[in-house]
Amino acid sequence: MQQYKKDFPIFQKNQKLVYLDSAATSQKPKIVLDAIVEYYETYNANVRRGLYAIAEKATVKVEEVRKQTARFINAKYPEEIIFVRNATEAINLVAYSLGNYIKKGDSIVTTIMEHHSNFVPWQQLAKINGAKFEVIDINDNFQFSIFNFQSNLNFQKSKMLAITHVSNVLGTINPIKEIIRKVRSKNPHIKILVDAAQSVPHMSVDVQDLDCDFLVFSGHKMMASTGIGVLYGKKELLAQIQPFLYGGDMIKEVTIERTIFADVPYKFEAGTPDIAGIISLGSAIEYINSTGINRVQNYEFRIMNYAMERLKKIDGLTLYGPQNAQNRSGVISFNIDGIHAHDVAQVLGDMNICIRSGHHCTMPLHKRLGVPATARASFYIYNDEEDVDKLIDGLKEVKKIFSH
């Protein structure tokens, strides 16, 4: 199962590295690193302004990646793709831009399994606008019970639903298409944002099929560089809402009296974008497409299955999230009785095994689980069974050390 690891230079340069923290950020294949170097070495120029060859090449490349990204998530139009810094910025953009649409007495709905980036912006917007902030709970299976989901909330006064596709702690894959369909049948006017930061890198996502209004993800979790993220929005909605940032590049005409904003997507892309980041995103998509997103998902499923089976055999280890790998994505959070998650991560770190510990930017979820922290191992295409074996051996060592 080592076919993909060779594509990632970091594993050649650091052969002892066991990287199990891809939910935080992924490693980058050589094709992505080469594309960044090629841009800086051969056509580094700003976009949408220079009238010379390398500026035109950079501009054309950025627009090609916009089209490529649109195809990747099956957006209807390339203009529906807005380049931002990361998923967090994309969510904030929507929250700011929709500001006036949420009125006193309306409600904004989100869920207990959200990352803070899809929780805090909505909580704050609700506070500022005097709206209700409603949080959907999970059941004992770490999933939403669709039945309760419907009966507890009638969505009649809800203007916004912000919901994650995949939990970055539980790994739960939410039946997002079904949820959107049910919520829309209760309230056809509600706006729905899907946080796809943990799904787009790992599984096929089709925004037209989902029928979401907005969807966000980060390039750095799908093998592109840090600093590039994507906001997808339905074109007619993007045309209606206010820009988030004002300045150069987002205008058609400026006079002392007024400004006419550029059309979508440019009205949301003020200032010089992360050109190298956009190019890296194009290469990352190319890499995923050449592997096949379904193959990525199946491959990860095999690793996850293997990891879960082995982890379950460790005495005193609690796994959070659906117990069956079928219903989850490449994230496994756990605790070992009597050992703090930070201690687990620290001892593994000393062995070059990289996992994460803490609340993973989901404090409300950890409060709901009744634990202050969890340890989290997360997987991607470059991991293999040997990585899992090293994790298991490492955890046995952790237990040995703390039993004394």
Ligand X SMILES: Cc1ncc(COP(=O)(O)O)c(C=O)c1O
Q: What's phi and psi for 330, nearest 5 deg?
A: -75, 45
Please tell me whether residue 20 binds ligand X under the rule CB under 6 A: no
Which residue in the set 22, 26, 107, 117 belongs to the binding site for ligand X (CB under 6 A)? 117
Q: Binding to ligand X by residue 274, rule CB under 6 A?
A: no
Residue tagged active-site, from 354, 361, 373, 392: 361
Q: Give me the residues paired with residue 233 across strands.
A: 214
Q: H or E segment at 248?
A: none
- Tell which one of 111, 143, 198, 357 touches ligand X (CB under 6 A): 198
Window of 120-128, 194-202, 237-245, 396-404 that interacts with ligand X by CB under 6 A: 194-202
- Minimum gap (Å) between residue 198 Cβ and ligand X: 5
Question: Is the CB of residue 231 less than 8 Å from the CB of residue 82?
Answer: yes
* Cα torsion angle, 42, 73, 271, 223, sign: negative
Q: Which of 7, 21, 80, 195 binds ligand X (CB under 6 A)?
A: 195
Per CB under 6 A, 176 contacts ligand X? no
Question: Of the ranges 13-21, 49-57, 110-118, 320-328, which one interacts with ligand X (CB under 6 A)?
Answer: 110-118
Using the minimum distance from each CB to ligand X, give the nearer residue, 20 or 197. Answer: 197
For residues 332 and 171, is the Cβ–Cβ distance under 8 A? yes
Q: How far is the CB of 289 from ligand X (least distance, A)?
A: 22
Rg (alpha carbons) of the chain, rounded to whole number: 22
- The DSSP secondary-structure symbol of 254 reads E
Are 68 and 282 spatial neighbours (Cβ–Cβ below 8 Å)? yes
361 belongs to the catalytic site: yes
Please, which residue, 88 or 283, has the CB nearer to ligand X?
A: 88
Q: Taking CA 11 as the corner, what is the angle to CA 17 and CA 312, rounded to the nearest 5 degrees?
A: 45
Nearest distance, CB of residue 56 and ligand X, angstroms = 31
Footprint of ligand X on 44-103 (CB under 6 A): 86-88
**For residue 58, what are its two tokens?**
């950079």
**Type of residue found at 60:** V
Least distance (Å) between residue 195 CB and ligand X? 5
Length of the chain equals: 404
Asked if 108 touches ligand X (CB under 6 A), the answer is no
Residue 325: other Cβ atoms inside 10 A: 21
**Residues 193, 197, 241, 336: which binds ligand X (CB under 6 A)?**
197
Shortest distance, CB of residue 86 to ligand X, whole angstroms? 3
The Cα–Cα gap between 303 and 1 comes to 9
Return the residues of window 134-173 that contact ligand X according to CB under 6 A: 164, 168
Question: Where would I find the beta strands (DSSP E) of 214-275?
Answer: 214-218, 229-233, 251-254, 259-261
Minimum CB–partner distance for residue 21 and ligand X (Å):
10
Written as six digits, the tokens of 155 are 């969505």
Cβ(191)–Cβ(237) below 8 Å: yes
The distance of closest approach from Cβ of residue 15 to ligand X in the complex, given in angstroms and rounded to an integer, is 27
The smaller minimum CB distance to ligand X, of residues 110 and 164, is found at: 164
Q: Which CB, 97 or 168, lies closer to ligand X?
A: 168
Check if the beta carbon of residue 333 is closer than 8 Å to that of residue 383. Answer: no
Of the residues 115, 328, 359, 399, which one makes contact with ligand X according to CB under 6 A: 115
The residues that are catalytic are 361
**Which residues in this chain contact ligand X in the complex, by CB under 6 A?**
23, 86-88, 115, 117-118, 164, 168, 195, 197-198, 218
